[in-house]
Amino acid sequence: MAVGGCVAEQLGEKLLDRFTHVDFVFGTHHLRRVPELLAAAQAGERSSEVGEDRSAARRFDLPMATRAEPGQGVRRKAFVTVMEGCDMFCSFCIVPLTRGREVSRAAAEVEAEVRALVERGIREVTLLGQTVNAYGRHDVRRGQAGEAGTMPFAELLGRLDAIPGLERIRYTSPHPLFFDDALIRAHGELEHLCPHVHLPLQSGSNRILEAMRRRYTRERYLEIAEALRRARPDLVLTTDLIVGFPGESDLDFEQTLSIVEAAGFVDSFSFKYSPRPGTAAVQLGDPVAPELAQARLLRLQALQSERTLAYHRSRVGQETRVLIEGESRHGAGQVSGRDPHQRVVNLDPRPGQALLPGDRVAVRIVEATPHSLRAVALPTETDGAIEARRSEAAGRVALALAGSPASPSPAG
Ligand code: SF4
């Protein structure tokens, strides 16, 4: 039994001392050492491998795992880490302490990995990083960006957009501070960049944003949202929100509610603040009572649900393309996938149509529900070609019949 991730990074050996059934512990920078640690554990050695490793080569050089599941269709989606770590130190967040400083991979390596994935059948990649759009910023600032190293994030997106066969590019999670004009323009210009951005906001109140050390204002966030929609009018914006941060007043909370409307969030993940040992916010006084935080969370989620449903309703009648992920939770032969806007679409296949994970299907949206869209599959190009051939053949048969001696003819 092994323990990995942020808690493992923080506690290390203490986990081995406390839980005698744990064989090994690996921190956030030591994923690639798991095979060695496993072999050692099988030889009876208990070990803990934690601590920051600043080597991009060691941290990012992981074996690729993209395989077709037998009988399950071909995997078409993959995650590609482009940077790791975080230098932002938001006052509520433990990530900078457990993931260490920002480290970006060389752009050429990222591109090579995406090309290799596309050759294996991947059609959608999601670029990953704690502050993914800060990709390469330290190199850019030092003037060391370039072919062998990194480049501004928008340029990296442009490079990937040109890879033949790659149909969808996403990224998560960006930070508003690094949302520059080039990245906004990219959303209007790059063919394969999906019309969805998940841009964590956390609070609609400038006072609370400052206490959270988020380094942007409500006004700046709204400016980005507006610019993104100018660049790509159908863009879907989703976010993360925290309620009950120390010192959050009714007025602060009302500002969070009002920005949900103003920014037009189609969806959000919302949480009650909970203190993380080792973070700056733990020192803040003026906690919000748990019942009040809970009431605020429920109000926020009710408002978001209304907005999500309103957006889903606005999509009814539209056509889109869905990348199938598997059976729908509703069963009854339905399959489920995501559209380019990252919405869940449950789909009724056409009679006789077998849809497998990895298939890409043109659909028409026929119903909106609070959490998803329902759609019907449209005739595919192949279906269309078959139907065209069928009607052409039927036409030939009709002509032949019309000209046959057994048929009545004007001459007969
Ligand atoms: S919330 Fe995000 S940006 Fe802030 S410290 Fe955590 S990982 Fe970094």
Q: What gap in Å lies between CA 43 and CA 39, rounded to an integer? A: 6
pLDDT computed for residue 75 by the predictor? 78
pLDDT computed for residue 273 by the predictor? 98
pLDDT computed for residue 405 by the predictor? 35
pLDDT computed for residue 342 by the predictor? 98
In this prediction, residue 385 has a pLDDT band, given cuts at 50, 70 and 90, of very low
Domain boundaries, the chain: 1-51, 53-314, 316-381
Q: Where are the alpha helices (DSSP H) in 181-234?
A: 181-189, 206-211, 218-231
Name the architecture of domain 316-381: Beta Barrel (2.40)
pLDDT computed for residue 408 by the predictor? 32
Residues 6+ apart with CB under 8 A from 306: none
Residue-wise pLDDT tens digits, 220-263: 999 999 999 999 999 999 999 999 999 999 999 999 999 999 99
Residues 6+ apart with CB under 8 A from 61: 32
Ligand 1 center to residue 86 CA distance, Å?
Answer: 6
pLDDT computed for residue 59 by the predictor? 73
Cβ–ligand 1 contact at 106 (below 6 Å): no
What are 338's strand-pairing partners? 323, 344
Test site for ligand 1: of 130, 209, 276, most ligand atoms within 8 A of the Cβ: 130
Cβ–ligand 1 contact at 88 (below 6 Å): yes
Measuring CA to CA, which residue among 225, 252, 244, 370 is closest to residue 302? 370
The CATH homologous superfamily to which domain 53-314 belongs is tm_1862 like domain (3.80.30.20)
Ligand 1 center to residue 95 CA distance, Å?
Answer: 6
Averaged confidence pLDDT in the chain: 88
Measuring CA to CA, which residue among 370, 355, 323 is closest to residue 342? 323
Cβ–ligand 1 contact at 280 (below 6 Å): no
Residue-wise pLDDT tens digits, 332-369: 789 999 999 999 999 988 888 888 888 999 999 999 99
Ligand 1 center to residue 57 CA distance, Å?
Answer: 23
The answer, yes or no, to whether residue 412 has pLDDT greater than 80, is: no
Cβ–ligand 1 contact at 131 (below 6 Å): yes
Measuring CA to CA, which residue among 45, 44, 2 is closest to residue 27? 2
Q: What gap in Å lies between CA 245 and CA 353, rounded to an integer? A: 51
Ligand 1 center to residue 190 CA distance, Å?
Answer: 27
Lowest mean pLDDT among 139-143, 149-153, 243-247, 318-322: 139-143
The protein residue with its alpha carbon nearest to ligand 1, atom 6, reads 93
Test site for ligand 1: of 6, 83, 95, most ligand atoms within 8 A of the Cβ: 95
Kind and range of the H or E element at 24?
Answer: strand 24-26
Residue-wise pLDDT tens digits, 284-326: 989 999 999 999 999 999 999 999 999 999 999 999 999 999 8
pLDDT computed for residue 282 by the predictor? 94
SS3 404: coil
Cβ–ligand 1 contact at 209 (below 6 Å): no
Task: Record the tokens describing residue 217, joined without a space.
Answer: 């204002």
Report the pLDDT averaged over residues 151-167. 96
pLDDT computed for residue 207 by the predictor? 98
Cβ–ligand 1 contact at 175 (below 6 Å): yes
Q: What percent of the chain has pLDDT over 70?
A: 86
Contact 320, 360 (CB under 8 A): no
Q: Which atom of ligand 1 is nearest to the CA of 89?
A: 5
pLDDT computed for residue 112 by the predictor? 94
In this prediction, residue 142 has a pLDDT band, given cuts at 50, 70 and 90, of low
Ligand 1 center to residue 201 CA distance, Å?
Answer: 11
SS3 373: strand
Cβ–ligand 1 contact at 110 (below 6 Å): no
pLDDT computed for residue 330 by the predictor? 81
Could you tell me what percentage of the chain is helix, strand and coil, using 3-state DSSP and rounding each to the nearest 5? 40, 20, 40
Return the CA Rg of the chain.
Answer: 26
How is 29-82 classified by DSSP, letter by letter? T-GGGHHHHHHHHHTT--EEE-S----HHHHH-------PPTTS----EEEEE-
pLDDT computed for residue 109 by the predictor? 92
Amino acid identity at 151? M
The protein residue with its alpha carbon nearest to ligand 1, atom 3, reads 88
pLDDT computed for residue 351 by the predictor? 85
Contact 50, 9 (CB under 8 A): yes
Ligand 1 center to residue 194 CA distance, Å?
Answer: 23
Report which of residues 165 and 412 the model is more confident about.
165
In this prediction, residue 402 has a pLDDT band, given cuts at 50, 70 and 90, of very low
Ligand 1 center to residue 59 CA distance, Å?
Answer: 19
Q: What percent of the chain has pLDDT over 90?
A: 71
Residue-wise pLDDT tens digits, 190-213: 999 999 999 999 999 999 999 999
Residue-wise pLDDT tens digits, 38-85: 999 999 999 999 988 777 767 777 766 544 444 455 678 999 999 999
The protein residue with its alpha carbon nearest to ligand 1, atom 4, reads 90
Phi, psi of 45 (to 5 degrees): -100, 125
Measuring CA to CA, which residue among 288, 134, 315 is closest to residue 211? 288
Task: Record the tokens describing residue 124, joined without a space.
Answer: 């959608």
Kind and range of the H or E element at 172?
Answer: strand 168-172
Phi, psi of 16 (to 5 degrees): -65, -40
Measuring CA to CA, which residue among 1, 31, 34 is closest to residue 16? 1
